[in-house]
């Protein structure tokens, strides 16, 4: 009999990818995805630790799941509750202790063991007393075997799919939890990811976004020799050879890992889209140093210049943190100056917030909330202006669009331009999943609208 699986995914694209792998893992056990926890036999929260108050959010969602579980038990059913992802990795034992209705907690490097964990859990919990009577499972191991070798091949795909090629990070930026929750840097062998890519394309994927916490640090074993490694650039040239694959993107990158071949690929490989998310975090050299970013503002600008020589229409995106410990007015101005110099098509910006256990959390001169809010507002005003300006530059131009969604309004379609802009236009639903040419007519801060020109 089929069972229902509810997964809520928080945070980054890597988590979206991991959630899909969990679905693939559980489908042979008879689990089918459901959009609501109410009829679920199993509920997984795939959590993210990057934002502030991550734990509180997870606990409040768990409270809601508990109510559903209690009701289901009272109606003679049950729902197994599991917490995965980076909060699980960081808080594992604490969650099992505080939430007796949770059956299992597992980190991002342990989810391939889900079927095994499900078989092992005794998941008894007493509704009346709210106490655990069985055993809760915590698996926050960083196993020596590769979880990727143990994951099944996907059985379904979307026109635009994620593919994890690299995981973890060795950079230890002083604000970041990733090296602790995702572990050490690991690159999958080229043959494995090429196989996955071909498989995705055979299932209908036309765009692949290569994922990794530090994806351009990729250095996978080459197809020909275990002693030779390929960087991301070399891999992208190979990936582009796959017939039927039309678009390649990758995220997220570190400026210092942008090597010559990868930069060259931006000029040579037509399938590599002219959009790059290259986080800089700050424009101040003092702050960059204190963040342990291993580059100066000038070095970042040089990397972007070289990229734009290779691909003059490259649209840039970044992440910024305002109010890092010790950030002065001059440091903040340097960030605004860098933004003006680069000109971003998109960007994400955040107030610095302490992640327990990271070096920056223990630094003196923490910036007040009020100052952080002011600086964030100022930076976001500038970034929004730039985003609108960028979108306006495309008015009157025809953009090739991969239609990846049906729009909210009847008859409306939506997709992405090569520059990662969200674009909305009217068209027949059968165009969903296709590439269409769309003339951009209007530009807004977060999207553009237009009309279909020709259909392939």
Write the binding mask 43 to 82 for ligand 5AD: x where contact by CB under 6 A, - elsewhere: -------x--------------------------------
Question: With 0-12 CB in 10 A as exposed, 13-18 as middle and 19+ as buried, what is 11?
Answer: middle
Distance CA(373)–CA(379), nearest Å, equals 10
| Closer CB to ligand 5AD, 50 or 88, in the complex | 50
Q: Do residues 49 and 90 lie in contact, with contact meaning Cβ atoms separated by under 8 Å?
A: yes
Q: Does 319 bind ligand 5AD (CB under 6 A)?
A: yes
Cβ proximity to ligand SF4, 213 vs 387, nearer residue: 213
Alpha helices in 393-413 (DSSP H): none
Angle in degrees, CA 244, 212, 394, rounded to 5: 60
Q: 96 or 210, CB closer to ligand SF4? A: 210
- Binding segment for ligand 5AD (CB under 6 A), chosen from 180-188, 203-211, 345-353, 442-450, is 345-353
Query: What does 213 bind: ligand SF4, ligand 5AD, none (CB cut-off 5 to 8 Å by kind)?
Result: ligand SF4
The 8 Å CB, 24+ separation contacts for 18-23 are 18/46, 18/84, 18/85, 18/108, 18/111, 18/164, 19/44, 19/46, 20/154, 20/162, 21/111, 21/112, 21/151, 21/154, 22/46, 22/84, 22/111, 22/114
Least distance (Å) between residue 178 CB and ligand 5AD: 8
Kindly state the smallest distance separating residue 348's Cβ from ligand 5AD, in Å. Answer: 7
Given the rule CB under 6 A, which residues bind ligand SF4? 169, 171-173, 176, 178-179, 213-214, 254
Determine if 376 is a binding residue for ligand 5AD (CB under 6 A): no
Of residues 182, 254, 271, 355, which one binds ligand 5AD by CB under 6 A?
355
Interior angle at CA 128, CA 116 and CA 6, nearest 5: 40
| 353 binding ligand 5AD? (CB under 6 A) | yes
Q: Which span sits near ligand 5AD by CB under 6 A: 34-42, 152-160, 350-358, 439-447?
A: 350-358
Assess contact for 188 and 146: CB atoms under 8 A.
Answer: yes
In sequence order, what are the beta bridge partners of 25?
none
Angstrom distance (rounded) from CA 433 to CA 439 = 18
Closest approach, Cβ 300 to ligand 5AD, in A, equals: 13
Any idea what the Cα angle at residue 181 is, between residues 180 and 186, rounded to 5°? 85
Look at residue 172 and give the partner it binds from ligand SF4, ligand 5AD, none, a contact being a CB closer than 5 to 8 Å depending on partner kind: ligand SF4
Helices (H) and strands (E) in the chain, counts: 13, 23
Q: Is 315 exposed, middle or buried (0-12, 13-18, 19+ CB in 10 A)?
A: buried
For residue 138, the minimal CB distance to ligand SF4 (Å) is 24
Q: Closer CB to ligand SF4, residue 176 or residue 345?
A: 176
175 binds ligand 5AD (CB under 6 A): yes
- Among 46, 209, 281, 335, contact with ligand 5AD (rule: CB under 6 A): 281
Catalog residues that contact ligand 5AD under the rule CB under 6 A.
50, 175-176, 279, 281, 319, 321, 350, 352-353, 355
């Amino acid at each position: 009999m089929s069972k229902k699986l509810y997964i809520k995914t928080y945070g980054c694209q890597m988590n979206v990818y991991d959630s899909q792998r969990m679905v693939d893992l559980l489908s042979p056990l008879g689990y089918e995805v459901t959009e609501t926890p109410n009829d679920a036999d199993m509920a997984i929260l795939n959590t993210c630790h990057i934002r502030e108050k991550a734990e509180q959010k997870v606990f409040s969602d768990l409270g809601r799941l508990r109510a559903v579980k209690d009701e289901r038990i009272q109606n003679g059913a049950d729902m197994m509750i599991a917490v995965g992802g980076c909060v699980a990795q960081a808080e594992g034992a604490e969650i099992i202790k505080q939430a007796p209705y949770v059956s299992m907690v597992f980190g991002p490097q342990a989810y391939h063991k889900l079927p095994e964990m499900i078989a092992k859990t005794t998941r008894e919990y007493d509704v009346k007393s709210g106490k655990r009577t069985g055993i809760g499972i915590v698996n926050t191991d960083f196993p020596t075997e590769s979880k990727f070798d143990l994951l099944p091949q996907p059985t379904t795909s979307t026109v635009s799919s994620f593919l994890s090629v690299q995981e973890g990070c060795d950079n230890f930026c002083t604000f970041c939890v990733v090296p602790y929750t995702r572990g050490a840097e690991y690159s999958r062998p080229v043959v494995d990811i090429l196989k996955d890519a071909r498989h995705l394309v055979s299932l209908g994927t036309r765009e692949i976004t290569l994922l990794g916490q530090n994806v351009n640090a990729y250095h996978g074993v080459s197809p020909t020799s275990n002693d030779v490694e390929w960087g991301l650039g070399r891999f992208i040239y190979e990936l582009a050879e796959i017939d039927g694959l039309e678009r390649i993107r990758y995220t997220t990158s570190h400026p210092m890992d942008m090597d010559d071949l990868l930069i060259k690929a931006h000029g040579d490989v037509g399938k590599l889209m002219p959009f790059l998310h290259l986080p800089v975090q700050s424009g101040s050299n003092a702050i960059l140093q204190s963040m342990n970013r291993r580059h100066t503002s000038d070095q970042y600008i040089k990397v972007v210049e070289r990229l734009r020589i290779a691909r003059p229409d490259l649209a840039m995106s970044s992440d910024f943190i305002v109010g890092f410990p010790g950030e002065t007015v001059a440091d903040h101005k340097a960030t605004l100056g860098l933004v003006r110099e680069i000109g971003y098509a998109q960007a994400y910006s955040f107030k610095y917030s302490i992640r327990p256990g990271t070096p920056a959390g223990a630094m003196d001169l923490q910036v007040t909330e009020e100052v952080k809010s002011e600086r964030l507002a100022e930076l976001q005003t500038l970034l929004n202006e730039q985003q609108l300006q960028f979108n306006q530059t495309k008015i009157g131009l025809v953009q090739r669009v991969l239609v990846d969604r049906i729009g909210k309004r009847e008859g409306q379609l939506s997709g992405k331009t090569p520059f990662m802009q969200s674009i909305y236009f009217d068209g027949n639903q059968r165009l969903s999943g296709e590439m269409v040419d769309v003339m951009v007519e209007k530009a807004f801060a977060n999207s553009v609208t237009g009309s279909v020109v020709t259909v392939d």
